[in-house]
Amino acid sequence: MVDVEVRRDRIIIRYKGKKWDWILEPRYWRNTLIWSALLILFPLVSYFVSPILLNTVITANLYAAVAIPLALMTLGTGRINFGPNFFIGVGGYTAALLSIAYGWGPLKTLPFAVIASLISALLFSPLVIVARGLYYVLLTLLLPLVFLEITFIYTDIFKGDVGLAGVKTLISTGMVKVNFLIAALISMLIMLLYLWVVNKVIKSRYGLIMAAINDGEEVAHGIGVNINKVKILAFVFASGMIGVIGWFYAHYFGTFAGITYLPLSFMIKILLVIFIGGRAQVFGCVVGGYFIAFLEMILITTLGPIQPVIFAIILTVLLFALPEGLFGIYRKRRYREYMPTLHVRR
């Protein structure tokens, strides 16, 4: 029988030995709700004030949406993946190739992009077991670079640095501004969904297991955790989530070129979203994503061709100047959750 218990701060539902909590106390969800509402309002306001901002909002959402699963992957595998953009490439190329070959729209290509990302992640998942610490960092760093090389080798398939054109667009209402607004809202929904899912996972029993693995694999193994299973699951699940962003890029721009997403310059942005945002804090990923996307946009519009140099210099300074990231400034005052320290060497 379903047993419902109403307490002062929460409603607890019990069914066949399982338990669900629904927290009523506002202090647990008020800030999240306020920030989510502000984020959703932002593209709507931009639509009327300055539509150019919409593209930056989309970029920011996508940076955050890659960084959030990467934070989960980092926590679950106890290793930092320096090549998450590999899965953007897999998802993006799968969607673009299928869309061009069969004229499929985004809804039809989505499952295939996810499946391709999951399969490629499964293929490379032994890395999380055999390669430790710095070995893992270097191997994952090489994956997107080698994939990029393959896209140049098979130019007849991947069209080299020109990229695949003619991918069916995500939205086509006939009005460009509205298309941008809807794309911004979809990217926002994906990002918020990722944030919610990953936050739930991290705060669940599995999150605790992942934290145990992150803190000490041997200790986690000693207390009965099937570390290989958890590491592979975290790696594959997060890779599938990142693959979806590749799918989004392909259908949003109507083109997909590996040279945009696979080089180190893109990967470093994602890593900096994590580090400058808040050292793999999931909420910090959103802060980092928005900060980096807007900084980049401001520098592009003001500095011209020297922007990549100045952008990299500013990010380097911030990397060293903000030891706990932007979210760390907030967290110092309101310490809420425990996120294990990241170790690369293990």
Partner 1 sequence: MWGTIEVVLTYSLVLGALYLLVSLGFSIICGVLRIFHLGYAYLFTLSVYLTWMLMKELGFGLIPALLGMVVIQFAISYAIYKGIIMKYVAQEEIILTGLLLISIIVEQAVTYRYPIQAGVFIQTTIIDGSTEIGSAVISNQLLAGAAIAVILTILFILFFLKTKIGLAIRALSQDIYSSRLIGIHVEALYTFTMFLILIPVIIGTLMVAPVWAVDPTMGSLYMTTAILVAILGGLGNIKGTIIASFLVGFTHATVSFVLGEPRFMNFSALVLVMIILMVRPQGIAKSEALW
Residues of this chain that bind partner 1 (CB under 8 A): 80, 82, 126-127, 130-132, 134-135, 137-139, 141-142, 145-146, 149-150, 152-153, 264-265, 268, 271-272, 275, 305-306, 308-309, 312-313, 315-316, 319-320, 342-345
Kindly tell me which of 1 and 130 has the beta carbon lying closer to partner 1: 130
CB of residue 225 to partner 1, shortest distance in Å: 20
Q: How far apart are the first and last CA of the chain?
A: 47
Residue 116, C-beta contacts closer than 8 angstroms, at least 6 positions apart: 90, 91, 94, 243
Beta-carbon contacts of residue 7 (< 8 Å; ≥ 6 apart): none
Residue 103's SS3 state is: coil
In angstroms, give the least distance from the CB of 148 to partner 1. Answer: 10
Measured from the CB atom, is 3 or 218 closer to partner 1? Answer: 218
**Do 140 and 146 form a contact (C-beta atoms < 8 A)?**
no
- The nearest distance, CB 132 to partner 1, in angstroms, is 7
Distances (CA, A) of 21 to 3, 17, 202, 248: 12, 13, 16, 33
Rounded to the nearest whole angstrom, what is the least distance from the CB of residue 149 to partner 1 in the complex? Answer: 6
Nearer to partner 1, 101 or 130 (CB): 130
Least Å distance, CB 63 to partner 1, is: 15
Using DSSP, state whether 263 is helix, strand or coil.
Answer: coil
CB of 229 to partner 1, least distance (A): 19
Question: Is 139 or 182 the residue whose CB approaches partner 1 more closely?
Answer: 139
Tell me whether residue 184 or residue 282 sits nearer to partner 1 (CB atom). 282
Q: Which residues 6+ apart lie within 8 Å of 51 measured at CB?
A: 177, 180
What SS3 string covers 143-196? Answer: HHHHHHHHHHHCHHHHCCCCCEECCCCCCCCCCHHHHHHHHHHHHHHHHHHHHH
> Least distance to partner 1 from the beta carbon of 308, Å?
4
To the nearest 5 percent, what fractions of the chain are helix, strand and coil? 75, 5, 20
Nearer to partner 1, 40 or 142 (CB): 142
172 vs 316, beta carbon nearer partner 1? 316
Rounded to the nearest whole angstrom, what is the least distance from the CB of residue 94 to partner 1 in the complex? 19
Instruction: Give me the least distance between CB of 83 and partner 1, in Å please.
Output: 12
Cβ atoms 299, 311 nearer than 8 A? yes
| Closest CB to partner 1 among residues 137, 297 | 137
DSSP-based three-state secondary structure for 50: coil
Closer to partner 1 by CB, 102 or 320: give it: 320
H helices present in 14-130, as ranges: 26-49, 52-77, 85-102, 106-124, 127-130
Residue in this structure with the two tokens 């911004």, named with its chain if needed = 184
Cβ contact 281:71 at 8 Å:
yes
Written as six digits, the tokens of 325 are 């990231």
